Amino acid sequence: MRSSISRQLVLWLAIPLMLLALCGGLVHYLNSVAPGVISSDRRLKDATAAIIAHLHVEDGKITLDTSVSIPPPLPTADSVLFALRDSQGRMLDGDPRVPTVPMSGDAGQIVAVAQIQQHNVRTLTTRFDSGGGVVLITAADVRSAAEPSARYGLMSTLLWDFVQLDATLVLVWVGIQVGLRPVKRLRQEIGARSPQDLRPIDESSVPREIAPAVVTLNRLFATLRASVQSQQQFIANTAHQLRTPITGLQAQLDLLISETAAAPVKNRLLTLQEGIRQLAHSANQLLTLARADPTVNTAAKNQTVALDVMVGEVAARFFDRALQSDIDLGIDVTPVSILADPSLIDDLLNNLVDNALKYTPPGGTVTVSAGQINGKVHISVEDTGPGIPEADRERVRQRFFRLPNSPGHGSGLGLAIVEEIARLYGAALGIAAGNGGSGARITVRFP
């Protein structure tokens, strides 16, 4: 499972912030309790000293002189309750509600927390030798019953700290998501590219933290682009160099076939002429494919192309071929224009019409249309041929793929060239059945 940087950052922040909140609550609790504890201990010690000052021993009997003339005065009942007990724990004087606090044999004083009427109180028990025997003086600070408010303060402080912590983590999460927007945009930009799009990424629009990764990607793209361009250049040069001799061979064969002396081998010459024509067609297609590749057209020249005019010009070139094949070639256009390289759009139309005529039987029809639907410009070529099975509509876009039992000796590059040119201009190539479910309709929709 892949880890998330956002989650890791929030987790790394949450743990120390939680510990800081706990420490802050503890410090707040100690600051709230400590002054009360110190004050309570002082009152208990003062009360114990006053009680000792008022002890009176006579004939071995220990009593408590409540006279106010003896300083310091005894504590009041609303402040400190006390109890006097002998070493056996028998009550000598004071409030019986004050509980007995056990003491070890050598302890002189002990501080403890006891309960009086279901309230926790802080007590101080003192062992005092009065001359008439050992007296255990237990003083209980009834004001300490309010000390549980400190615990309430601790809980409320912790609750508020954790509310602040949650709000802080939410803000941190939002900040991280906002901060990672450039990374997400970069991911979307790369994800939206086709495998053939090797243009460099704009380094000026990325944060400094990911700029090194973008620089490395651009170097990789440059290496791949140089390799692809070298390959495409080789194909283009080879196709270009083949065109001249092939054209010469075609001209010589045309002259040779017209000679009377060539009559005995005319059939063989016609076969050779057809092969050379197919070779010339394949060379032209390879040259077009090399020119249409997006990696070598990063700065393609764009001009205003009137599609209605270009459709008429391309159809005119194929009229003779359509008449010879007894195919009704027609056009259906409305004035519409796009920005593109005219030669590439011409190649796109040539391949579409050539394919349609190749697969349409005699007596069929081929219609080339151009117009605008829902604000988008389109070019369509529809024929009444055998059509393209739905299972093969993705495969026919691939280079060198031909449908089984296809007529002629094509190279399977026609629709691959159309796909490359469409992708270069951000257009979508659609393949569907023609009207009535027969034939094929190839549509290129421009953005």
Distance of CA 227 to the CA centre of its chain: 32
Question: Which pLDDT band, with edges at 50, 70 and 90, does 147 fall under?
Answer: low
Question: In terms of pLDDT, which residue wins out, 66 or 387?
Answer: 387
At position 135, the amino acid (one-letter code) is V
Angle 148-179/181-191 helices, nearest 10 degrees? 40
Predicted pLDDT of residue 97: 86
Question: Which pLDDT band, with edges at 50, 70 and 90, does 423 fall under?
Answer: confident
Does the pTM surpass 0.85? The reply is: no
In the chain the domains, ranked by start, together with CATH numbers, are 5-150 (3.30.450), 205-290 (1.10.287.130), 300-445 (3.30.565.10)
Predicted pLDDT of residue 299: 45
Angle CA 93–95–99, to nearest 5: 105
- Please compute the mean of the pLDDT values over residues 299-307 and round it to a whole number: 75
Using the predicted structure, report yes or no on whether residue 166 has a pLDDT greater than 90. Answer: no
- Please compute the mean of the pLDDT values over residues 203-221 and round it to a whole number: 82
Using the predicted structure, report yes or no on whether residue 222 has a pLDDT greater than 80. Answer: yes
Which stretch of 170-179, 227-236, 267-276 has the lowest confidence by average pLDDT?
Answer: 227-236
Question: In terms of pLDDT, which residue wins out, 353 or 397?
Answer: 353
Using the predicted structure, report yes or no on whether residue 303 has a pLDDT greater than 80. Answer: yes
Which stretch of 16-30, 287-301, 419-433 has the lowest confidence by average pLDDT?
Answer: 287-301
Using the predicted structure, report yes or no on whether residue 368 has a pLDDT greater than 90. Answer: yes
Using the predicted structure, report yes or no on whether residue 146 has a pLDDT greater than 60. Answer: no
Predicted pLDDT of residue 3: 62
**Range from 69-78, 86-95, 158-167, 274-283 that averages highest in pLDDT:** 86-95
> What percent of the chain is modeled with pLDDT above 70?
87
- Please compute the mean of the pLDDT values over residues 204-230 and round it to a whole number: 81
Predicted pLDDT of residue 411: 66
Which stretch of 83-92, 168-177, 241-250, 370-379 has the lowest confidence by average pLDDT?
Answer: 241-250
Using the predicted structure, report yes or no on whether residue 445 has a pLDDT greater than 90. Answer: yes
- Please compute the mean of the pLDDT values over residues 135-161 and round it to a whole number: 71
Report which of 315, 375, 307 is spatially closest to residue 342, judged by C-alpha positions: 307
| 348 phi, psi to nearest 5 deg | -60, -50
Predicted pLDDT of residue 295: 56
Using the predicted structure, report yes or no on whether residue 400 has a pLDDT greater than 60. Answer: yes
Question: Which pLDDT band, with edges at 50, 70 and 90, does 236 fall under?
Answer: low
Q: For 74-128, what is each residue's pLDDT tens digit?
A: 887 778 888 888 878 888 888 888 888 887 767 788 888 888 877 778 888 888 8
Using the predicted structure, report yes or no on whether residue 365 has a pLDDT greater than 80. Answer: yes
Question: Which pLDDT band, with edges at 50, 70 and 90, does 407 fall under?
Answer: low
Predicted pLDDT of residue 8: 77
Structure-token pair, residue 347: 């190649």
Question: Which pLDDT band, with edges at 50, 70 and 90, does 210 fall under?
Answer: confident
Contact 112, 125 (CB under 8 A): yes
Using the predicted structure, report yes or no on whether residue 298 has a pLDDT greater than 50. Answer: no
Mean pLDDT of the chain: 80
Based on C-alpha coordinates, what's the Rg of the chain? 50
Question: Which pLDDT band, with edges at 50, 70 and 90, does 406 fall under?
Answer: low
* Bridge partner residues of 367 (DSSP): 330, 382
